[in-house]
Amino acid sequence: MPEVKPAGIRRRNSLKRTALSLLIILGAYAGLWGYFQWKAQKVRAEAEKKLEALFKESDELEKLGTVDLDPRSVTLAESNERFQQPGQKLAGPQNTTKYGWLCGGDPCAIWAAFAVPYGQEVPTTAAPVLLLMNSPFMHPPRHLAIGGISLGETGEDVKKFCDTHGYQFEKGKRIAWDKNCSAVWAERDGKVSLVIFTNEKALRDVTDRGAAAGKPHAS
């Protein structure tokens, strides 16, 4: 006959199993809590690092004062001087070399692409084929501008500016400066947060030279 355990022993065994189950559950929760605490600390550290970079960039932007770049004549040397730092050099699109300034955040606040293949020396007198000004902040600074278009102003301000200076306002957020050059802008909460000026003729020339260089020579 099977052994019949007294009720007291069965009750103690049941309590042990219950206690063991609670310990396992508590251990699992403790492990999860520790994991999420570690993840939270990691996310917080990364956020603080990014914020520190943005605050540094904000301070540098404030120190510049009012900057309004003439996109058709500004040079690499002038850009370095105006932004009080040498540009960060990177390979650009369409066989160009790209420089960035005020790169505390991601991306840099100002980018310029020059019609020189990456790895070759960019003359300090070179003018960019593409010039970009971007604000990483919720409230773009009004003291930064390209060709008279300021970050932080409204789309209506841009349209009035075009009417005043005789620039052709085209479909969407695009402006034809002249037959060779154009500008586009983007808004955040109704304020201009991005301006891109492109010398389309110079950029086409770079593209054509790159395409011609890639073609096999006729024998």
Kindly report the three-state secondary structure assignment for every residue of the chain.
CCCCCCHHHHHHHHHHHHHHHHHHHHHHHHHHHHHHHHHHHHHHHHHHHHHHHHHHHHHHHHHHCCEEECCCCCCHHHHHHHCCCCCEEEEECCCEEEEEECCCCCCCCEEEEECCCCCCCCCCCCCCCEEEEECCCCCCCCCEEECCEECCCCHHHHHHHHHHHCCEEECCCEEECCCCEEEEEEEECCEEEEEEEEEHHHHHHHHHHHHHHHCCCCC
Per-residue pLDDT, averaged over 98-111, amounts to 80
State the chain's maximal CA–CA distance in angstroms: 107
Residue 122 vs residue 23, higher pLDDT:
122
Same domain, 50 and 86: no
Q: How many domains, in total, are found in the chain?
A: 2
Q: Could you tell me if 75 and 96 are in contact, meaning their C-beta atoms sit under 8 angstroms apart?
A: no
Same domain, 74 and 56: no
Same domain, 108 and 197: yes
Same domain, 70 and 136: yes
CB atoms within 10 A of CB 22: 10
Q: Answer yes or no: is 151 within a domain.
A: yes
Per-residue pLDDT, averaged over 154-175, amounts to 84
4 pLDDT above the threshold of 60: no
Q: Answer yes or no: is 219 within a domain.
A: no
- Quote the pLDDT of residue 181: 85
Beta bridge partners of 133: 110, 195
Q: Which residue has the tokens 């040397």?
A: 77
Across 1-10, 97-106, 169-178, least confident range:
1-10
- Amino acid found at 123: P
pLDDT tier, 97 (very low <50, low <70, confident <90, very high otherwise): very high
End-of-domain residue from the set 39, 64, 89: 64
Residue 19 vs residue 187, higher pLDDT:
187
- Quote the pLDDT of residue 112: 92
Q: Answer yes or no: is 2 within a domain.
A: no
Q: Could you tell me if 184 and 173 are in contact, meaning their C-beta atoms sit under 8 angstroms apart?
A: yes
Q: Answer yes or no: is 1 within a domain.
A: no
Cα–Cα distance for residue pair 110/129, rounded to 1 Å: 14
Same domain, 86 and 175: yes
Residue 105 vs residue 62, higher pLDDT:
62
Question: At 189, phi and psi to the nearest 5?
Answer: 55, 40
Residue 112 sits in which domain range?
65-212
Q: Answer yes or no: is 163 within a domain.
A: yes
Same domain, 102 and 55: no
End-of-domain residue from the set 43, 64, 85: 64
Across 68-77, 166-175, 181-190, least confident range:
166-175
Q: Are strands 149-150 and 181-188 parallel, antiparallel or unpaired?
A: unpaired
What pTM did the predictor assign?
0.66
Cα–Cα distance for residue pair 178/33, rounded to 1 Å: 62
pLDDT tier, 119 (very low <50, low <70, confident <90, very high otherwise): confident
Contacts of 108 (CB under 8 A, 6+ apart): 88, 100, 101, 102, 134
Same domain, 96 and 174: yes
Same domain, 25 and 57: yes
